[in-house]
């Protein structure tokens, strides 16, 4: 069987057919162990449609989970089904899946267009069809004008977008993105987030992993939190946050005159504590984060304060984890 | 009426993906410096061997007086051969043809060098007698009867050639005295050196050197490098089975290596065809050997490619696992020169590959073993002299060997090809199984 290097004729037909009425992603009691180390334990998860953020600190098991989904690792126990098929045994479901790996290495000698059309051909497209598809997806991620430059000359954000383009080339129903925003400049970040949101609106199932909460927050509210290989929470980020409103939060304000600002802030009922870590910094303790954020801007503007920064140093994944684990994190 | 488009079955779909992987692999090779270094070193190694050959073809082959009759032992100005023909005493300065009436002028000594060349029919089959006493010194009256019929077949001044059905080889010739005892070195050695070169460069240069080292450096990393660079993630996330990735990578590797081998074979074949001895401008008969060399090397690079790619997939330092195999194959190459029928050769790749070249040599030069015997026999018996081996005979004897399977040359080529393809198939299955079981981080 010699390779058909000319590749003329119709595209491939789907021999494999996805099962109907099953979740797109279905994990049942999936564990992955390396000797005594449990990279993932007893994960049960069913996902279909919409954008889901997979949140977890580094080493929480996000990449292990994705590698299991992409058939690169074999689960130590439990079963994984994508469209009803086990990916370790059969790569056919990947005809409907796009994957953006975390790794930075790419084939730098290829042009973006060559790279994307190569993988389009691996989806069974002919050479001509692959070129058309490559143009389409590179335009979708905003790289149409640089598509014929070598990947090696791209910035980090552009490379990330090429990876996304290559994953979208088969018009997949499930898109898995492993840390797609890592190391990107703000512009690339915005573009990538828009692309992901767009895909969600199109009704695709999208999995995005990140270890930074507000990245995910800007994309989706549906989250899965992994911690030390365990599934810690699953559901709406908003709901989780509301529960957290009863625990104290800290807001850090960088300003020129913290003492003056403190006088104005302390009158608010939501604020129950104030401290001055340094000469140009004010920290507020509150039980009601939303309320403080609502009144703070007008308070600052009305009294003419000069404010450089407002941060919620503990409004991050770590504090959510601390809350969810009862301080054990 | 519309012709319905050909149904696209699973094989055609696989074919497309395989083609894409193969094409990608070929383009990837082209961008790597290491590819060019390996191919360049291979070219230089072959070029050096060819230079030695071209040099040896330019060098004059010294004409040797195998029977010593060009010497003038008694110092009377007449070479021994001339004195013996005229019946004078080569050991007595006062006895020479110059004393005859009218006196005979002395021959130049060169006339008595290479004066009794081989008169052999190399197309002989079965037992036969050959040889003619060109210089007449066997038929002289003073040559004793026992010298005239040393081989005791009741025919004077001939040589018996014996063909052994058992070994399929010609035995050492049995000659009467003074027959074909001073052969023409130039004529024999040039041909022998040329044939030895063809077999040597084909077996050691192409099948061993290129056949093992190209796959060692080019195929070992085919899967492994992609795994280590984590660029394999892209390919594994597409609907293509790992055994097809494995095969596609091998096809891409062959897409670089096979044209290279064919080009090298044609290049060296042209050089040796024009530079080699013979009446014609070009040695067309050698093309059969060159086709076999190229074919055997292509099969060897296929099997070793599968093997080394599988070893590279198995372990990060696959080249360490590959080296013992390369050493084993070198050992088997040496065994095949000396004991081509050894059954241990069946457990090698090179044994089967070299069989193809040996079989082709038998087709192109059907009486190769007789030709070797001829050179090793040298000049036979000539009074006080025993013929000495002719240059090139030993080299040819070292590099030529029997096909070892005990079947005809064409059958040997067919069987060896099937075995090598089978080896490649098994190694593909094993290699894909290793790759399929690999967990890739």
Cβ-defined contact of B231 to A107 (cutoff 8 Å):
yes
User: Could A3 and B19 be called an inter-chain contact, meaning their C-beta atoms sit closer than 8 Å?
Assistant: yes
Q: Are A154 and A142 in contact (CB under 8 A)?
A: no
pLDDT of residue B167: 75
Per-residue pLDDT tens for B166-186? 777 788 888 888 888 888 888
Interface contact A250, partner B, CB < 8 A: no
Q: pTM, whole model, 2 decimals?
A: 0.87
Is B11 close to A1, i.e. CB distance below 8 A?
yes
Select from A10, A72, A122 the residue whose CB has the most chain B CBs within 10 Å, as the one to mutate to test that interface: A122
Structure tokens at A295: 């009144």
The answer to whether the CB atoms of A12 and B20 lie below 8 A apart is: no
- Inter-residue contact A111 to A158 (CB < 8 Å): no
pLDDT for the residue B47: 96
| Average confidence (pLDDT) over A100-116 | 94
Of the partner residues B5, B22, B233, the one whose CB lies closest to the CB of residue A10: B5
Mutate to test the interface with A, among B238, B259, B433, B436 (most CBs of A within 10 A): B238
**Residue A45: φ, ψ to 5°:** -160, 135
pLDDT at A245: 65
B433 touches chain A (CB under 8 A): no
Q: Is the pLDDT of residue A7 over 70?
A: no
Give the model's confidence band at A311: pLDDT under 50 very low, under 70 low, under 90 confident, else very high: confident
- Average per-residue pLDDT for chain A: 86
**Chain B residue numbers touching A107 (CB-CB < 8 A):** 28, 231
Q: What is the mean pLDDT of residues A37-53?
A: 92
Q: Is A102 exposed, middle or buried (0-12, 13-18, 19+ CB in 10 A)?
A: middle
Handedness of CA B332, B337, B341, B342 (dihedral sign): negative
Model pLDDT for residues B148-161, shown as the tens digit of each residue: 888 888 888 888 88
The confidence score (pLDDT) of residue A64 equals 93
Q: CB of B240 within 8 Å of any CB in chain A?
A: yes
A window 55-114, beta carbon within 8 A of B: 67, 70-74, 91-95, 97-99, 101, 103, 105-107, 109-110
Which residues are within 8 A (CB) of B135 and not within 5 positions of it... i.e. 6 or more apart? Answer: B69, B81, B85, B112, B115, B116, B178, B182
- Taking the CA of residue A165 and the nearest CA in chain B, the distance in Å comes to 12
Is B17 near chain A, with CB under 8 Å? yes
Q: Determine the average pLDDT of the residues in A76-88.
A: 94
Confidence of residue B332 (pLDDT cuts 50, 70, 90): very high
| Residue from the list A1, A9, A74 with its beta carbon closest to the beta carbon of B439 | A74
Chain-centre distance of CA A94, in angstroms? 20
Q: Quick one: closest CA in B to A126, which residue?
A: B16
Interchain pair A5, B19: CB under 8 A: yes
Given a contact cutoff of 8 angstroms between Cβ atoms, the answer to whether B286 and B269 are in contact is yes
Give the model's pLDDT for residue A1: 44
Contact A5 B5 (CB under 8 A): no
Cβ contacts of residue B27 below 8 Å, gap of 6+?
Answer: A110
Contacts A98 to B, Cβ<8 Å: 237
B 209-238 residues with CB below 8 A of A?
Answer: 229-231, 233-238
Is the pLDDT score of A267 beyond 90? no
Confirm whether the ipTM is greater than 0.85.
no
Facing residue for A122 by CB, picked from B15, B230, B238: B238
Sign of CA dihedral B397, B403, B407, B408: negative
Indicate if the pLDDT at residue A11 is higher than 60: no
pLDDT category at A295 given cuts 50, 70, 90 is confident
Tokens 């290793």 sit on residue: B434
Residue B423: is its pLDDT beyond 60?
yes
CA distances from B126 to A106, B111, B365, B403, B410 (A): 68, 35, 16, 20, 21
Backbone angles phi, psi at A57, to 5 degrees: -70, 170
Confidence of residue A256 (pLDDT cuts 50, 70, 90): confident
Using alpha carbons, list the distances in angstroms from residue A108 to A150, A152, B229.
6, 4, 12
% of chain B beyond a pLDDT of 90: 56
Radius of gyration of chain B (CA): 29
Decide if A98 and B237 are in contact by the 8 Å CB cutoff. Answer: yes
Element (H, E) at B418: helix B409-437
Is residue B87 left, alpha or beta, with left meaning phi > 0 and alpha meaning psi from -120 to 50?
left
**Touching check for B347 and chain A: CB below 8 Å?**
no
Residue B333 reports pLDDT greater than 50: yes
With an 8 Å Cβ cutoff, are B239 and A1 in contact? Answer: no
Say yes or no: B3 contacts chain A, CB-CB below 8 A. no
Cβ-proximal residues to A126 (8 Å cutoff; 6+ apart), any chain = A7, A8, A9, A10, A11, B16
The pLDDT of residue B4 is above 60: no
Alpha-carbon distance B436 to nearest alpha carbon in chain A (angstroms): 9
B33 touches chain A (CB under 8 A): no
Q: What is the pLDDT of residues B97-154, one digit of tens each?
A: 988 888 889 999 888 998 888 888 887 777 888 888 888 888 887 788 888 888 888 8
């Amino acid at each position: 069987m010699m390779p058909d290097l000319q590749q003329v004729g119709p595209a491939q037909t789907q021999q494999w057919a996805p099962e109907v009425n099953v979740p797109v992603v279905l994990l049942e009691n999936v564990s992955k162990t390396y000797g005594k180390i449990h990279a993932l334990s007893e994960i049960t998860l069913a996902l279909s449609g919409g954008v889901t953020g997979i949140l977890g600190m580094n080493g929480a098991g996000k990449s292990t989970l994705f590698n299991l989904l992409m058939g690169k690792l074999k689960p130590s126990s439990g079963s994984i089904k994508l469209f009803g098929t086990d990916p370790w045994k059969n790569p056919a479901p990947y005809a409907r899946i796009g994957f953006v790996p975390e790794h930075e290495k790419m084939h730098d000698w290829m042009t973006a267009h060559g790279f994307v059309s190569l993988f389009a051909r691996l989806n069974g497209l002919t050479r001509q069809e692959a070129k058309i598809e490559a143009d389409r997806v590179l335009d979708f991620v905003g790289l149409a004008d640089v598509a014929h430059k070598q990947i090696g000359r791209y910035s980090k954000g552009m490379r990330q977008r090429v990876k996304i383009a290559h994953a979208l080339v088969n018009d997949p129903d499930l898109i898995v993105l492993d840390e797609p925003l890592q190391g990107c400049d703000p512009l690339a970040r915005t573009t990538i987030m828009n692309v992901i949101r767009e895909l969600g609106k199109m009704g695709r199932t999208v999995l995005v992993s990140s270890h930074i909460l507000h990245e995910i927050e800007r994309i989706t509210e549906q989250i899965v939190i992994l911690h030390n290989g365990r599934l810690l929470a699953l559901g709406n980020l908003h709901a989780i946050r509301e529960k957290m409103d009863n625990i104290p939060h800290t807001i850090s304000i960088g300003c020129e005159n913290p003492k003056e600002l403190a006088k104005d802030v302390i009158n608010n009922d939501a604020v129950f504590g104030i401290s001055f870590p340094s000469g140009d910094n004010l920290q507020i303790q509150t039980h009601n984060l939303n309320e403080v954020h609502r009144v703070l801007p007008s308070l600052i503007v009305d009294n003419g304060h000069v404010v450089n920064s407002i941060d919620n140093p503990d409004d991050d994944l770590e504090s959510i984890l601390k809350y969810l684990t009862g301080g054990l994190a | 009426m519309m012709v319905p488009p050909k149904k696209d079955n699973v094989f055609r779909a696989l074919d497309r993906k395989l083609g894409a992987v193969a094409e990608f692999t070929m383009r990837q090779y082209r961008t790597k410096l290491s590819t060019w270094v390996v191919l360049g070193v291979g070219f230089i190694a072959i070029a050096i061997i060819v230079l030695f050959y071209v040099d040896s073809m330019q060098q004059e082959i010294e004409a040797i007086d195998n029977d010593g009759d060009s010497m003038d032992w008694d110092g009377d100005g007449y070479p021994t051969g001339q004195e013996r023909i005229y019946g004078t005493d080569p050991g007595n300065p006062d006895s020479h043809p110059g004393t005859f009436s009218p006196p005979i002028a002395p021959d130049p000594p060169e006339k008595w060098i290479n004066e009794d060349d081989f008169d052999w029919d190399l197309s002989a089959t079965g037992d036969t007698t050959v040889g003619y006493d060109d210089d007449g010194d066997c038929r002289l009256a003073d040559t004793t009867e026992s010298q005239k019929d040393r081989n005791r077949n009741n025919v004077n001044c001939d040589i018996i050639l014996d063909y052994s059905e058992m070994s399929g080889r010609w035995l050492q010739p049995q000659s009467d005295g003074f027959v074909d005892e001073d052969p023409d070195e130039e004529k024999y050695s040039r041909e022998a050196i040329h044939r030895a070169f063809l077999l040597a460069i084909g077996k050691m240069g192409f099948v061993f050197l290129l056949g093992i080292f190209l796959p060692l450096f080019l195929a070992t990393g085919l899967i492994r490098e992609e795994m280590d660079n984590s660029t394999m993630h892209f390919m594994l996330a597409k609907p293509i089975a790992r055994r097809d990735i494995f095969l596609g990578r091998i096809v891409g590797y062959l897409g670089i290596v096979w044209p290279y081998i064919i080009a090298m074979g044609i290049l060296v074949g042209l050089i040796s065809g024009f530079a080699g001895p013979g009446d014609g401008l070009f040695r067309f008969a050698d093309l059969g050997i060159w086709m076999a060399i190229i074919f055997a090397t292509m099969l060897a690079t296929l099997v070793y490619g599968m093997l080394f790619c599988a070893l590279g997939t198995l372990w990060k330092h696959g080249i360490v696992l590959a080296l013992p195999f390369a050493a084993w194959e070198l050992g088997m190459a040496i065994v095949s020169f000396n004991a081509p029928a050894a059954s241990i050769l069946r457990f090698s790749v090179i044994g089967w590959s070299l069989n193809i070249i040996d079989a082709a040599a038998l087709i192109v030069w059907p009486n190769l073993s007789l030709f070797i015997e001829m050179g090793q026999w040298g000049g036979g018996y000539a009074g006080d002299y025993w013929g000495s081996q002719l240059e090139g005979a030993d080299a040819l004897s070292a590099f030529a060997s029997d096909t070892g399977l005990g079947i005809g040359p064409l059958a040997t080529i067919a069987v060896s090809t099937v075995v090598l393809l089978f080896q490649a198939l098994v190694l593909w299955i094993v290699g894909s199984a290793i790759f399929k079981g690999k967990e890739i981080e």
